[in-house]
Structure 1
Amino acid sequence: MIKPTTYHIALGSNKGDKFKNLQTAVNAIHKRIGHIKSLSRVYKSPAFGFEGDTFFNACLILEAYAAPELVLQELLAIETDLGRTPNEGVGYQDRIIDLDVLFVEDEIISTKTLQVPHPEMVKRRFVLQPLNDIATKFKHPKYNKEVSVLLEECQDHSVLEPVNIWLKNPAKQYGFSKYNYIAIEGNIGAGKTSLATKIARDFNAKLILERFADNPFLPKFYEDAQRYAFTLEMSFLADRYQQISEDLSQLDLFKDFIVSDYDVFKSLIFSKITLADDEFNLYRKLFNLMYKDLKKPELYVYLYQNTERLQQNIKKRGRDYEQNIANDYLEKINTGYLEFLKTQNDFNVKIIDISNRDFVDNRADYLWVLEKICE
């Protein structure tokens, strides 16, 4: 899965309810563009370069999967939606809202529409002061100086006053940190790894991903299921038990919670489908001995997708050994999961139908899934 790009964005307003304008812009950036990692304090500053009302200014750090030009387009659209009119163009003047791209990681961009790093930022204390709150050690790619140094050297001696109201980060509403351990489950191709990875990145979680790709018996199983089923299920059980036991026991003081893309109980669900009755009875005895000692997830999220969408996703990711999976096999897995979840009273279960959602490429769908998980 590709990594998001980190952006540093400046916000300013000196017309109407200035604080509300900033908060509305922050909410729109979260909803339309990407995940807001950090927000600075809000500072009151005098108008710069013209006679006008005082400004409220702030900065934020944004992670987005969109390219810089697309991010700029979205920022301009948000400005328009908030009431910025065409006569509020370039130059120094009153603004309902002003949104500027300061940095795009360490890139240097020069196009007709986008200049990065922002060419005027080093001259503006109302930009550098809030930026220093959240990126003091970040180095300007052209000047090779940290933001803190640029602030010290800034020739703009305007006096900025911190506002005693803090902007709210919309990402904080989801409340994942109230859980210690969340498991994301689903059928083959449901998107559990993608979702677990995005949640871990956005909400500072320790990520546990199943090491299925290292299992040498998996391609053999898809070629000759009857011969390799028991060997495959035993190796998966051993690997999953070892991984979960080790990863859950290793405390990470810098992470807020743990999220995994599987729960060990999937071993019993899959083995019931793949094994003969006598093999399954033996397997279940071994599984029960191991499973009772494992920590259970406090929140268990099951991503349901219909068989047609599963097959589309399987073909899209292009693993050779998965290309001939039968619909009947996928339907049995779905049934196995749903029967298991009906009987669980030990942890909180959320079943979410994502058959008509694309939370990987569509941010609105991703936020919808987050809301369903945390509602």
Structure 2
Amino acid sequence: MKIQHITYLSLGTNQGHKLDNLQNAVNLIDGKIGAIQKISSIYKTAAWGFNGNDFYNICIKVSTSLPSDALINLLLSIEKELGRERTNKEGYQNRNIDIDILLFDDEIILSKALIVPHSKMLERKFVMIPLVEIAANVIHPIEKKLLNICLQNCNDSSEIFKIDALLTRPIPITEKYNYIAIEGNIGAGKTSLAKMMSDEFNAKLVLERFADNPFLPKFYEDKERYAFPLEMSFLADRYQQLSDDLAQFDLFKNFIISDYYIFKSLIFAQVTLSKDEYLLYRKMFNLIYKEITKPDLYVYLYQNTERLLENIKKRGRIYEQNIEPEYLKKIHDGYKSFIKTQKNLNLLIIDVSEIDFVNNTIDYDFIMDKIKNN
């Protein structure tokens, strides 16, 4: 579980298409820094400290797991990505984007790279007015006063105007969804992704308890004999686990991620059971399925068979090492049929065959973007 910090940032621009500059910066901060919880109105002011075009300024509240030193480095990289070129000239200059850290939790930071609270913030209306709009009751760590009081004590006499235009706040995954189920074939990486997301978003994690199933090793040794007791035990355990875990949490207030959805029981049963066994199994499943809470988002991770076999071999579970490619193909075909028939389930299919989201941050961010923008 990652510690979440609250930071307040000031964004300003006086070159090019200023609204686009601010929106692009907001989007990149959301993608690389953390969830944006609040955005102030846009305020127009004359250039402060030099002759230049008028500025558009905003403040934003961001929740991030980054420490302050990583935060400042990423913000500098975002400025650069948006075209800012820093020079060695002294004094203030025109710029298409400027991002400053105003506050970071209630910390006081004095380092070569970063000073927090920002040393000039209390002197600038173009900072304090948008900041107070979204953080009036936050206490300044040094002054020990509410920011609203600090604004009243500000001696800056420059004029500041609120404009009508509004920026779009990217909706965080934790606000968009309450319950996400991640699925995929054996070895697709669903458990790894569920754990990574749970860690990032401090979500309740529901993991399938397959390791505790005594029939699983026996099934891989003698499929015909142990298929029915295996599938029935899985169905009973999945139903009990999901019922118990989901009942303990308010689905409107908590974020839950599971590495399976109960429909996988039917998919695997189709592959492993005889026709008569499957018909009996299906009757039991239909009774149970009506009672299970449906996820807000169902994510299916697709991996080609070659990669699945590599992953299975790599994780080294003895009872999985003799899984045949044809068996994996049948499982995938089962998921494929299920996906085609689901009209009322919010489905997202992500091909992860050519990416490594466990070891590559860019690949993980790619998946998060897919989920966020679904």
Q: Give the TM-score normalised by the residue count of structure 2.
A: 0.73
Equivalent pair of 1:189/1:310 in contact (CA under 8 Å): yes
Show CA shifts across 1:10-58 (max 9, x none): 1012334433322232234345544433322111234334454432111
Distance 2:137 2:290 in 1: 47
Distance 2:76 2:265 in 1: 50
Query: Cα gap change, 1:367/1:268 in structure 2, threshold over 3 Å: closer, same or farther?
Result: closer
Query: Cα gap change, 1:119/1:71 in structure 2, threshold over 3 Å: closer, same or farther?
Result: same
Which residue does 2:188 correspond to in 1?
Answer: 190
Which residue does 1:304 correspond to in 2?
Answer: 302
Question: Equivalent residues in 2 for 1:164-313 (5 A)?
Answer: 164-171=164-171, 183-192=181-190, 209-213=205-209, 217-218=212-213, 220-225=214-219, 233-242=231-240, 244=242, 247=246, 252=251, 261-273=259-271, 280-294=278-292, 296=294, 300-307=298-305, 309-310=307-308
Q: Are 1:22 and 2:17 counterparts?
A: no
Equivalent pair of 2:348/2:371 in contact (CA under 8 Å): no
Query: Cα gap change, 1:327/1:48 in structure 2, threshold over 3 Å: closer, same or farther?
Result: farther
Distance 2:306 2:147 in 1: 51
Equivalent pair of 1:298/1:348 in contact (CA under 8 Å): yes
1:66 to partner: Cα distance: 5.0
Query: Cα gap change, 1:356/1:245 in structure 2, threshold over 3 Å: closer, same or farther?
Result: same
Q: Which amino acid aligns with 2:151?
A: L
1:365 to partner: Cα distance: 1.3
Number of residue pairs matched? 363
Distance 1:321 1:341 in 2: 28
Q: Give identity over the alignment, percent.
A: 45
Query: Cα gap change, 1:236/1:26 in structure 2, threshold over 3 Å: closer, same or farther?
Result: same
Distance 1:323 1:106 in 2: 52
Q: Which amino acid aligns with 1:26?
A: V
Equivalent pair of 1:208/1:261 in contact (CA under 8 Å): no
Equivalent pair of 1:38/1:62 in contact (CA under 8 Å): yes
Show CA shifts across 1:57-115 (max 9, x none): 11223345555444433432333344433337664343332111223444444432223
Equivalent pair of 2:206/2:257 in contact (CA under 8 Å): no
Equivalent pair of 1:103/1:116 in contact (CA under 8 Å): yes
* Higher deviation after alignment, 6-15 or 61-70: 61-70
Question: Equivalent residues in 2 for 1:65-144 (5 A)?
Answer: 67-87=67-87, 91-144=91-144
In structure 1, stretches of 5+ residues that fail to align are none
In structure 2, stretches of 5+ residues that fail to align are none
1:341 to partner: Cα distance: 2.8
Distance 1:127 1:150 in 2: 12
Secondary structure in 1 aligned to 2:206? coil
Which residue does 1:365 correspond to in 2?
Answer: 366
Query: Cα gap change, 1:345/1:40 in structure 2, threshold over 3 Å: closer, same or farther?
Result: closer
Query: Cα gap change, 1:315/1:125 in structure 2, threshold over 3 Å: closer, same or farther?
Result: farther
Distance 1:147 1:286 in 2: 60
Distance 2:291 2:90 in 1: 64
Q: Which amino acid aligns with 2:371?
A: L
Which residue does 2:13 correspond to in 1?
Answer: 13
Show CA shifts across 1:324-353 (max 9, x none): 555436555334322433444554544331
Secondary structure in 2 aligned to 1:60? strand
Query: Cα gap change, 1:254/1:347 in structure 2, threshold over 3 Å: closer, same or farther?
Result: closer
Show CA shifts across 1:212-271 (max 9, x none): 24x7723x445444698666644543343355557489765557x987543211122234
Equivalent pair of 1:5/1:64 in contact (CA under 8 Å): yes
Q: Which amino acid aligns with 1:167?
A: L
Distance 1:168 1:112 in 2: 34
1:190 to partner: Cα distance: 3.3
Equivalent pair of 1:196/1:207 in contact (CA under 8 Å): no
Q: Are 1:160 and 2:160 counterparts?
A: yes
Which residue does 1:58 correspond to in 2?
Answer: 58
Distance 1:327 1:6 in 2: 47
Which residue does 1:336 correspond to in 2?
Answer: 334
* Higher deviation after alignment, 334-343 or 306-315: 306-315
1:304 to partner: Cα distance: 0.7
Distance 1:232 1:65 in 2: 41
1:305 to partner: Cα distance: 1.8
Secondary structure in 1 aligned to 2:15? coil
Query: Cα gap change, 1:299/1:76 in structure 2, threshold over 3 Å: closer, same or farther?
Result: closer
Secondary structure in 2 aligned to 1:212? coil
Q: Which amino acid aligns with 1:369?
A: K
